[in-house]
Amino acid sequence: MRTMFDEVIKKIREITSLKPETLVVLGSGLGGFADKLAEHVTINYKELFPYWKADIPGHKGLLHIGLIQEKPVFCMEGRMHYYEGYSDEEMRFPYLLFAKLGVKQTIVTNACGGMNPEYEAGEIMFITDHINMTGHNPLCGMVPESGTSLFCDMSEPYDSGLIELATEIAGKLKIKNHRGIYVGYSGPSYETKAEINAYRNMGGDAVGMSTVPETIVANQTGMKVLGIACITNKATGVAAGKKLSHEEVLSEAERIRMKITGLLTEIIRKI
């Protein structure tokens, strides 16, 4: 993997002189944010990650590099999911790569289901903590860099300072927001009613199939993380008789996209 790191870093350095300290990971249907980047260059994931699989709808597989409010940013349009068959090593590779490239903070967004009955589609939740129900930990089998440990502290996986900043900005933009606990579920099938009831009893407020792996790796490298969960639907059983579909998730994410674009722009400006 060390050779892969060197090769990918060389490719990125060849196409841009920008050295971002902020990484934005865009969830399903939220890729339009990348259009706001100035001095914008794009690399297909297949040039960076040889193991990248067929694209999932809403996840194009593009790395964008450019400026937001004069601040350089890496922007991942698309992410890897355990349900696609990626190994722990493959899941952690991108975030270890960005740490080597100098990233100090990661803003992770996702499209997810609201388990908390007070949450409505179109609202957002700033993630304060998570429950890992994927059955995986991306640090398994990892040989840590000198001076780092596999046994990283997870007492504050989502940075409280960034949450306060984001909440203040969301309020000024009049974006309805909550703070809550995210449950990471492997998928790809949606959760059963019994599972949702169990996750609610555990303290979960929203559920999705991403975010947890990258947050764990980011914390291991020392990055600060801000998690923004976009509520695109009510989870199974919360809205009686409602069937779930990926198409519905993408449609609602598109509706949320403009408010998320404004929110991300202001957060990056003030970091």
Q: Report pLDDT digits (tens) over 10-33.
A: 999 999 999 999 999 998 767 678
Q: Does residue 169 register a pLDDT over 70?
A: yes
Q: What is the set of domains in the chain, with CATH numbers?
A: 2-270 (3.40.50.1580)
Q: What mean pLDDT do residues 189-198 have? A: 94
- Percent of the chain at pLDDT > 90 equals 73
The one-letter amino acid code at 161 reads: G
Q: Which of 81, 130, 136, 178 is catalytic?
A: 81
219 catalytic residue (yes or no): no
Of 87, 246, 248, 254, the catalytic one is 246
For this structure, is 59 an active site residue? yes
233 Cβ contact partners less than 8 Å away, ≥ 6 residues apart: 113, 114, 121, 239, 242, 244, 248, 249, 252
Please spell the DSSP secondary structure of 10-78, one letter per residue. Answer: HHHHHH-----SEEEEE-TT-GGGGGG-EEEEEEEHHHH-TT--SPBTTB--EEEEEEETTEEEEEEES
Per the rule left: phi > 0, alpha: psi between -120 and 50, beta: everything else, 29 is left
Output DSSP code: residue 181: E
149 is catalytic: no
Report the pLDDT averaged over residues 215-241: 89
Which one of the listed residues 34, 45, 59, 177 is annotated catalytic?
A: 59
User: How far apart, in whole angstroms, are the C-alpha atoms of residue 150 and residue 221?
Assistant: 10
Q: Is 266 a catalytic residue?
A: no
> pLDDT confidence of 245, banded at 50, 70, 90?
low
Could you tell me the pLDDT band of residue 50, with boundaries at 50, 70 and 90? confident
Mean pLDDT of 117-122: 92
Active site residue 210: yes
Would residue 121 show up in a list of annotated catalytic residues for this protein?
A: no
Q: Is 28 a catalytic residue?
A: yes
Question: What pLDDT is recorded for position 216?
Answer: 98
Annotated catalytic residue, options 110, 116, 177, 210: 210
Has residue 2 got a pLDDT over 80? Answer: no
Tell me, yes or no, if 246 is annotated catalytic.
Answer: yes
Q: What is the pLDDT of residue 233?
A: 85
CB neighbourhood size of 256 (10 A): 23
Instruction: Tell me the C-alpha distance between 215 and 3, whole Å.
Output: 24
| Closest alpha carbon to 122 in 168, 178, 74 | 178
Contact 260, 124 (CB under 8 A): yes
Q: Which of 125, 233, 253, 266 is catalytic?
A: 233
- Any catalytic annotation for residue 81? yes
38 conformational bin, left if phi > 0, alpha if psi -120 to 50, beta if neither: beta
- Rounded CA gap, 135 and 128, in Å? 21
* Marked catalytic residue, from 76, 99, 111, 133: 111
130 is catalytic: no
Pick 246 or 184 by higher pLDDT.
Answer: 184
Confidence of residue 173 (pLDDT cuts 50, 70, 90): very high
